[in-house]
Amino acid sequence: MNQRKRGGMTWGLGVGILAALSVGWGCAPSAPKGARKAAGTTSDLAVAAQKTYVAPGDLDEFYLFSSGGHSGQVYVYGVPSMRHLATIPVFTPYPATGYGFDDDTKAMLGNLTWDDVHHPALSETNGDYDGRWLFVNGMSGRIARIDLKDFKTRQIVGPVPNVSGNHGSSFVTPNTEYAMMASRFSIPIPKGTVAPIERYATDYRGVVAAIKIDSKTGQMSYGWEILTPPFDWDLGDAGKKISDGWMFWTCYNSERATGKLEVTASQRDRDYIAAVDWRAAEKAIADGKGEMVGGVKVLDPRKVPGLIYLMPCGKSPHGVDVSPDGKYVIGSGKLQGVTTAFNFEKIQTAIRNKDFTGDEDGIPVLKYESIKDAEVPVGLGPLHTQFGPDGYAYTSLFVDSAIAKWKLGTWEVVDKVPMSYSIGHLCAAEGDACSPKGKYLVGLNKLSHGRHLSVGPSQPESLQLVDISEEKMKLLYDAFTEPEPHYAQMITATTLHPIEVYAKEDNKHPLAIWDIKDAGVSRAGNKVTVKVVEVRSTIYPTAIEVTEGDTVTLAITNIEQTTDELHGFGLLDYNFNIVIDPGETKTVTFKADKPGVFPYYCTNFCSALHQEMQGYLIVKEKA
């Protein structure tokens, strides 16, 4: 069956939908006939081509930072060309840039050399992207910070205590006070505690966690956590403007079920969105109300009321998104045909009036009818919502495989555009900030079959560029990406000012050298330090002699001060390749554990005599 037909069908909320929602469609339908004309008539195609064409030498208008899912990476695209510009390795070694092989990045990764990146979060000032840092979550309970000065991963914190399955992350507050996290898979806490699965509902706990961010350096440190029932926290978004100070997270499995969750966790008609007053939590911690659990201060809402409330939401909601003015909190049951717009002021009134219908482990449940403004009939399987500059909202529809455009306030659905196929997140230009830019929207789709040359069973995912500058949305372009795009963020290119060379005077590395005369070997017992200089087109020294059993540290400085002049250092038979950018020093430490002669060479093509950039490590047999 093809996807379009499936999307057009009216499905009940029964098993059919549950089956359709499970990952993959179980079959691989061929491309719908006419897919090649998706952009419309010939003249439409010419217009679309012009809108996405960035001539050779010209630059794109936006950067798109797309999560790389279980690749552990972040992909950088230019918009509107959709050209892939860079891969930023975060949780995974990446020989192309030497990441995870030199001493510093290897230590930063630790023993976990994979993770699952879902949600990039650009740093914000007053609710708008400031272009300083990009935070990304790892499902293992980590958050990483990428510095947008050099597009390098500079810090990984975690696994954060008590957070298990960090899906609801990383979402930053409007002035980047915190990166927020939440547990998807509740466990007995602190980690290491054992309780049988039969005691899930009572002995397993979730948490929402705040990671503090230093406003000058971006350095992250553990903040505080709030204990929650064992729901599966899914996605979050920070309040902004009038709702600044609040944080929202969706959950599924408010049933506290185990086993076959697609059935057991879909029994209730409603799950929840948590509304967390993070300023109140901050104050409670300052007042000493936190208790140490697993090495971090945790607040128990039973003992400290007023921190967290539950907003009933359609069954098994996924995304939650706050409108640019901070007034509306949009959340959808992913099995429904409507998305709900909650009104922040009504939420505050309901809290003040104690307009509750009950509680969950001491957390008050707000009355749905009192806090909602509208149920917008967007279509089937609403997941995520982004915003334009003109009061329009865009909601991805997984089951319908489409994007719906609708108006905040009038709740009118004005347009739909099909996606090929099965859209998850979507990303409009600065579309989750206080000042969305409009123009472009990218659908991040799960399936792409028939839209590209076949590459066998491991099919790429698709990014579809949509023009949102006019009343009607128009599909412009199909691009493809490696697994697994979840969320992405798009930032005006001119907001970023990346460096292209590390200035010599900024290099404070203790082993940096700038003169080839200083290159060479020094020894302390069986510890050998080799200061290495790389410059077109020689690696100094050209031969390095050590003894079997020595622990060798190579400190390699690329003394170039010219853009684009990277050098590599690959050592044959040893498991590393290092890449050193202009002006940078990196170290790599290894044990010379076998005698022999091992060539090393520059792996980055750097000059006409790049091929000559080689040398030998001679490991003498132990006497």
Helix (H, G, I), strand (E, B) or coil at 609: coil
> Nearest approach, Cβ of 607 to ligand K7E (angstroms)?
43
Nearer to ligand K7E, 364 or 382 (CB): 382
Contacts of ligand K7E in 175-194 (CB under 6 A): none
**Structure token digits, residue 262:** 């697609």
Q: By the 8 A CB rule, do 443 and 403 touch?
A: yes
**Structure token digits, residue 221:** 């440190």
Number of residues counted as binding ligand K7E (CB under 6 A): 10
Contacts of ligand K7E in 306-325 (CB under 6 A): 318
- Our finding on whether 567 is near ligand CUA (CB under 6 A) is yes
Contacts of ligand K7E in 86-145 (CB under 6 A): 118-119
**Structure token digits, residue 398:** 């997984």
Contact partner, 531, from ligand K7E, ligand CUA, none, Cβ < 5-8 Å per class: none
Phi, psi (degrees; rounded to nearest 5) at 612: -80, -5
Segment contacting ligand CUA by CB under 6 A, of 120-128, 202-210, 376-384, 597-605: 597-605
Contacts of ligand CUA in 231-260 (CB under 6 A): none
Q: By the 8 A CB rule, do 250 and 313 touch?
A: yes
Nearer to ligand CUA, 289 or 610 (CB): 610
Contacts of ligand K7E in 377-396 (CB under 6 A): 383
Across 139-187, the runs of DSSP E, i.e. the strands, are 142-147, 152-157, 171-172, 178-182
> Nearest approach, Cβ of 556 to ligand CUA (angstroms)?
11
4, 334, 486, 567: which one contacts ligand K7E (CB under 6 A)? Answer: 486
d(C-alpha 362, C-alpha 299), whole Å? 12
605, 620, 621, 622: which one contacts ligand CUA (CB under 6 A)? Answer: 605
606, 615, 617, 619: which one contacts ligand CUA (CB under 6 A)? Answer: 606
Tokens 């200083």 belong to which residue? 518
- Our finding on whether 213 is near ligand K7E (CB under 6 A) is no
Please tell me what DSSP assigns to residue 159: S
d(C-alpha 207, C-alpha 193), whole Å? 15
- Our finding on whether 424 is near ligand K7E (CB under 6 A) is yes
Give the C-alpha distances (Å, rounded to integers) separating 103 from 358, 561, 587.
53, 23, 6
List beta partners, residue 75.
66, 87
Contact partner, 604, from ligand K7E, ligand CUA, none, Cβ < 5-8 Å per class: ligand CUA
Nearer to ligand K7E, 282 or 484 (CB): 484
Closest of 555, 543, 553 to residue 615, by C-alpha: 543
Contact partner, 487, from ligand K7E, ligand CUA, none, Cβ < 5-8 Å per class: ligand K7E
d(C-alpha 86, C-alpha 78), whole Å? 10
Contacts of ligand K7E in 219-258 (CB under 6 A): 235
145, 167, 451, 536: which one contacts ligand K7E (CB under 6 A)? Answer: 167
- Fill in the amino acid letter for 494: T
- Our finding on whether 97 is near ligand CUA (CB under 6 A) is no
d(C-alpha 173, C-alpha 171), whole Å? 7
Closest of 340, 384, 396, 385 to residue 366, by C-alpha: 340
Please tell me what DSSP assigns to residue 511: T
CA 466 to chain centre: 21
Contact partner, 334, from ligand K7E, ligand CUA, none, Cβ < 5-8 Å per class: none
Question: In sequence order, which residues have a C-beta less than 8 Å from that of residue 302 and are 6 or more positions away?
Answer: 361, 362
Contact partner, 119, from ligand K7E, ligand CUA, none, Cβ < 5-8 Å per class: ligand K7E
Residues near ligand CUA, by CB under 6 A:
567, 602, 604-606, 610, 613
Residues near ligand K7E, by CB under 6 A:
118-119, 167, 235, 318, 383, 424-425, 486-487
